[in-house]
């Protein structure tokens, strides 16, 4: 297995807690880290092991040791949903998705499975509809460890750059979502993809 990666120090830049909001952290075990896992999602090649919904710094401080212990125990990774979530927006999203599921069941009970119910909460706590608009971010997923490329990308919008996270093969570069992403000109770069409402790597177990 690859060496441990620890980006927990970057949470002081990534977390901006406010009342009635939270950040979501997840433990994922990925097929690429273990060769083959019988329980992983066949499409995504990963298994969701646990999630934490964190509403303040005190609770975050308490659960960080648990996150590391879980990740180390299963050779997993801790990811963070980079956008801050709203408690009330999450409830409205949950209501909407629940009504959709009920309508689907009413039309044909054969179209609803228990696994759909199991996935519902994980889904609504990850949707952009559940986020606070002012906290939304861009993430550049850089799939190569090229320090010159890293600096060039960071410098393209310095005033909006929040943090850079090391990944197994490269970096996650995080920006505030307060500018036109065309400025970044990522179409001119290889091994770079821009993402929104996504996961950033915080920790990879040893």
Look at residue 69 in the predicted model and tell me its pLDDT: 94
Average pLDDT, the chain: 88
* Same-domain status, 95 and 66: no
The dihedral sign for the CA sequence 123, 12, 204, 135: positive
The string of pLDDT tens digits covering residues 152-198 is 999 999 999 999 999 999 999 999 999 999 988 888 888 999 999 99
pLDDT in tens, 91-100: 999 999 888 8
| Degrees to nearest 5, angle at CA 171 with 170 and 175 | 160
Q: How far is CA 125 from CA 41, 177, 202, in A?
A: 19, 20, 18
Residues 171 and 80 grouped into a single domain:
yes
**Token output for 10:** 């970057």
Question: What total of structural domains would you count in the chain?
Answer: 2
Q: What is the pLDDT of residue 104?
A: 78
DSSP 108-130: -GGG--HHHHHHHHHHHTTSGGG
Q: Are residues 135 and 55 in the same domain?
A: yes
Last-in-domain residue among 121, 142, 169: 121
What's the rounded Cα separation, in Å, for the pair 48 and 41?
A: 9
- Tell me what the mean pLDDT of segment 141-148 comes to: 94
More confident call, 30 vs 8: 8
Q: Considering the domain boundaries, does residue 126 fall inside one?
A: no
Q: pTM here?
A: 0.88
């Amino acid at each position: 297995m690859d060496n441990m990666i620890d980006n927990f120090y970057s949470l002081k830049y990534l977390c901006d807690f406010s009342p009635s909001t939270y950040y979501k952290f997840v433990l994922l075990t990925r097929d690429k880290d273990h060769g083959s896992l019988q329980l992983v999602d066949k499409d995504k090649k990963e298994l969701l092991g646990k999630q934490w919904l964190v509403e303040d710094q005190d609770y975050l401080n308490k659960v960080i040791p648990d996150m590391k212990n879980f990740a180390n125990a299963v050779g997993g990774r801790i990811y963070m949903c980079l956008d801050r979530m709203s408690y009330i927006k999450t409830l409205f999203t949950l209501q909407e998705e629940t009504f959709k599921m009920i309508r689907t069941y009413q039309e044909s009970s054969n179209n609803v499975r228990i696994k759909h119910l199991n996935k519902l909460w994980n889904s609504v706590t990850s949707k952009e509809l559940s986020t606070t608009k002012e906290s939304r971010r861009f993430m550049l997923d850089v799939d190569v460890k090229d320090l010159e490329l890293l600096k060039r990308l960071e410098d393209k919008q310095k005033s909006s750059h929040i943090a850079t996270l090391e990944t197994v093969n490269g970096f996650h570069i995080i920006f505030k979502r307060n500018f036109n992403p065309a400025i970044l000109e990522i179409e001119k770069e290889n091994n770079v993809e821009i993402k929104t409402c996504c996961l950033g790597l915080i920790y990879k177990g040893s």
